[in-house]
Amino acid sequence: MTDDIEAFRAALKAAGEPWQQRGIRIVLVGFAVLVVAQVVSAYAMLLLFAAVAIIAVGWGFMITAFVRRRRWAKTHADLTLPDLPDVP
């Protein structure tokens, strides 16, 4: 039963993994741009707008990963995990 659970989790994770990793990296870049906007005062507003746009793109990637995992789970509903016994 443990092998089935591990295979299910690995397949579910693989369904959205590249999108999630890209999203996390892009959001981190956006936060780095926010830090630069705080330090550099010459182009602060431009950097602020760029950082918000970069963070929005990163969130878009993470939402895409969530939707792809959800879609995968719906198409593979027959692979649901077995019921676990009640805890005494």
Q: Are 31 and 62 in contact (CB under 8 A)?
A: no
pLDDT at res. 16: 83
Token pair of 59 as six digits: 């969130």
pLDDT at res. 42: 87
pLDDT at res. 45: 93
Q: How many domains, in total, are found in the chain?
A: 1
Per residue in 8-67, pLDDT (tens digit) is 778 878 888 888 899 999 999 999 999 999 998 889 999 999 999 999 999 999 999 999
Range of the domain at 42: 16-76
Burial class of residue 57, CB neighbours in 10 A (0-12, 13-18, 19+): middle
On whether residue 84 sits in a domain, the answer given is: no
On whether residue 10 sits in a domain, the answer given is: no
On whether residue 5 sits in a domain, the answer given is: no
Residue 81 pLDDT > 70, yes or no?
Answer: no
Helix (H) or strand (E) holding 75: helix 44-75
On whether residue 49 sits in a domain, the answer given is: yes
Residue holding tokens 């016994």?
A: 85
pLDDT band at residue 84 using 50, 70 and 90 as cut-offs: low
Token pair of 42 as six digits: 């010459």
On whether residue 34 sits in a domain, the answer given is: yes
